[in-house]
C-alpha cells in the first residue's frame, strides 16, 4: 500500500493502481503531477446555450415576437372587456369586479390580476430590450446611412413608426394607468366606480383626452401591423404566395383592434354611452 498524504483524511490505494480524487466536476489523478505536455489543454467552455441564443439577433427577434404575441393577446382580451360598457353600468362594473376576484376562493382576490400585471410588465420590458438592442446592433453594423433611400419595409418609414410609435405608446400607457387604473388624473377619482371613471374620463368636455386616445390608438394600430408582419417573417411563415394574405391578416387584426378600442371613448364623447 502506498501512502499518498492528507486530504481531509489519509487516502490509500493498492500498489500500482492509480486512484483519482473528484474535485468538483474535474477528475484529478493522484500522485505526482503529469508532465505539462500530457495535461489536457484548457478549452474555454462556451456560454450556456440559453445565453448564446439570447445573444444572437435571431434569439432577440424571437424574444420580440413572443413578447409581442403575449401583448397582442392581452390587447384582444382588454378590448373585448372594454366593449362591455355598451351593456350598461352594472355589466361593466361587474366585469371590473370579476377581474379582481377571478380565481377566488382558490386563490386570494387579485392574485390572477397581479400575475397578469407581472407578465405584462416583463413582456413590455423584454420587448423594449430586444428592440433597443437590435437597433443598436444594426447601427453598429452600418453606422453610415445608405446613400440611396432604402426601399425595404424594414427601414425608413417602418423604423420611424416603430421607434416613435413605441415611445408614444409607452407615454400613452403611463397616462392611461394614471387615468383609468389609479384614477389620479380622472375626474371620478380613485373612489369612483369603474363605469363612472370611463364616462367622466371621456366626457365631451374632455375631448382633448379622447383625441389623445384616438391618436395613440392609431399608433398602436401601425405598430401592431408592422409588428405582426415582422413576427410572421421571424417565424419564417412568409412565402411568395402567402405574402399578400399575411399582410392583409396583419392589417385586419390591427384594424379591428383599433376600431374596437376607439369605439368606447368616441361613444362616450359623442353621448352614445352616458
Query: Which residues of the shown chain bind ligand HEM in the complex (CB under 6 A)?
Result: 78, 82, 96, 99, 113, 116-117, 120, 169, 173, 176-177, 180-181, 194, 198, 213, 217, 220, 261, 264-265
Q: Which is nearer to ligand HEM, 158 or 209 (CB)?
A: 209
Residue number with CB closer to ligand HEM (54 or 262): 262
Could you tell me the three cell numbers for 247? 399582410
- Give CA angle at 248 (245, 250), nearest 5°: 110
Give burial (CB, 10 Å; 0-12/13-18/19+) of 170: exposed
- CA 19 to the chain's CA centroid: 53
Is 213 within 8 Å of 265 (Cβ atoms)? yes
- Cβ neighbors of 214 (< 8 A, separation 6 or more) are 262, 265, 266
Nearer to ligand HEM, 47 or 190 (CB): 190
- Taking the least distance from each CB to ligand HEM, the nearer of 53 and 78 is 78
Residue 119: other Cβ atoms inside 10 A:
14
Q: In the bound complex, what is the minimum distance in angstroms from residue 27's beta carbon to ligand HEM?
A: 53
Minimum CB distance to ligand HEM, residue 265 (Å):
5
| Shortest Å distance, C-beta 245 to ligand HEM | 26
Minimum CB distance to ligand HEM smaller for 62 or for 180: 180
Query: What is the smallest separation between the CB atom of 126 and ligand HEM, expressed in angstroms?
Result: 15
Min separation Cβ 185 and ligand HEM, Å: 13
CA distance 42 to 195: 67
CB 234, min distance to ligand HEM, A: 21
Q: Closest separation between CB of residue 132 and ligand HEM, Å?
A: 18
Nearer to ligand HEM, 69 or 180 (CB): 180
In the complex with ligand HEM, the residue whose CB is nearer, 66 or 180, is 180
Residues in the chain: 274
Contacts (Cβ under 8 Å, ≥6 apart) of 68:
127, 227, 228, 231
Distance (Å, rounded) from C-alpha 55 to C-alpha 70?
A: 22
Q: Which residues pair with 2 in a beta bridge?
A: 13
Amino acid at each position: 500500500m502506498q501512502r499518498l498524504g492528507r486530504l481531509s483524511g489519509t487516502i490509500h490505494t493498492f500498489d500500482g493502481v492509480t486512484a483519482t480524487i473528484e474535485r468538483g466536476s474535474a477528475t484529478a489523478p493522484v500522485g505526482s503531477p503529469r508532465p505539462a505536455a500530457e495535461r489536457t489543454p484548457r478549452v474555454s467552455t462556451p456560454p450556456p446555450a440559453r445565453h448564446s441564443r439570447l445573444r444572437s439577433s435571431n434569439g432577440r427577434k424571437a424574444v420580440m415576437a413572443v413578447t409581442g404575441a403575449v401583448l397582442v393577446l392581452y390587447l384582444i382580451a382588454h378590448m373585448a372587456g372594454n366593449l362591455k360598457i355598451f351593456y350598461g353600468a352594472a355589466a361593466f362594473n361587474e366585469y371590473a369586479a370579476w377581474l379582481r376576484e377571478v380565481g377566488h376562493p382558490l386563490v386570494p382576490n387579485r392574485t390572477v390580476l397581479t400575475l397578469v400585471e407581472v407578465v405584462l410588465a416583463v413582456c413590455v420590458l423584454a420587448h423594449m430590450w430586444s428592440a433597443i438592442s437590435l437597433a443598436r446592433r444594426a447601427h453598429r453594423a452600418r453606422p453610415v446611412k445608405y446613400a440611396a433611400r432604402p426601399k425595404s419595409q424594414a427601414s425608413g418609414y417602418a423604423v420611424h413608426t416603430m421607434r416613435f410609435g413605441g415611445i408614444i405608446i409607452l407615454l400613452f400607457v403611463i397616462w392611461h394607468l394614471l387615468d383609468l387604473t389609479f384614477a389620479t388624473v380622472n375626474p371620478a377619482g380613485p373612489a369612483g366606480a369603474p363605469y363612472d371613471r370611463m364616462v367622466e374620463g371621456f366626457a365631451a368636455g374632455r375631448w382633448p383626452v379622447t383625441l389623445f386616445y384616438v391618436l395613440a390608438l392609431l399608433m398602436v394600430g401601425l405598430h401592431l401591423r408592422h409588428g405582426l408582419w415582422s413576427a410572421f417573417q421571424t417565424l419564417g411563415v412568409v412565402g411568395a404566395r402567402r405574402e399578400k394574405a399575411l399582410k392583409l391578416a396583419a392589417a385586419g387584426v390591427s384594424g379591428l383592434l383599433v376600431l374596437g378600442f376607439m369605439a368606447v371613448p368616441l361613444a362616450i364623447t359623442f353621448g352614445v354611452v352616458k
